[in-house]
Amino acid sequence: GAVVSQHPSRVICKSGTSVKIECRSLDFQATTMFWYRQFPKKSLMLMATSNEGSKATYEQGVEKDKFLINHASLTLSTLTVTSAHPEDSSFYICSARARGETQYFGPGTRLLVL
């Protein structure tokens, strides 16, 4: 199956700093990439959808200035959490989809903001 990687797998940062998470589709070109957030023992919450070369579409309640998404190429999308606060601590998961239906998920990035 298709492989999606994320980097870093975990990150600890100080409050007020920014953190960038990378999502890569390793063996296919992803026309669309998605960013999800997951709280402990909870389901995945879609944050935004991004298509290569265009602006991301954010879900209601997700601050686009706080969660900056860049989909620079068909294999790379980045999520930058700006001015991070403790409440931003969470498990962030990206997924990628080619022209078909199947959505492949990355392994996730655990963010802890102190």
Partner 1 sequence: GENVEQHPSTLSVQEGDSAVIKCTYSDSASNYFPWYKQELGKGPQLIIDIRSNVGEKKDQRIAVTLNKTAKHFSLHITETQPEDSAVYFCAARIRGGADGLTFGKGTHLIIQP
- Backbone phi and psi for residue 86, each to the nearest 5 degrees, phi listed first: -55, -35
Q: Which two tokens stand for residue 4?
A: 């999606």
Spatial separation of the C-alpha atoms in residues 34 and 45, rounded to whole Å: 10
Spatial separation of the C-alpha atoms in residues 28 and 33, rounded to whole Å: 12
CB of 70 to partner 1, least distance (A): 17
12 vs 83 by CB, closer to partner 1: 12
CB of 36 to partner 1, least distance (A): 8
- Contacting residues toward partner 1, per CB under 8 A: 1, 4, 6, 32, 34, 36, 42-44, 46, 49, 51, 57, 93, 95, 101-108, 110
Where do the H-state alpha helices sit in the chain? none
CB of 113 to partner 1, least distance (A): 18
Which DSSP category does 46 fall into? E
19 vs 93 by CB, closer to partner 1: 93
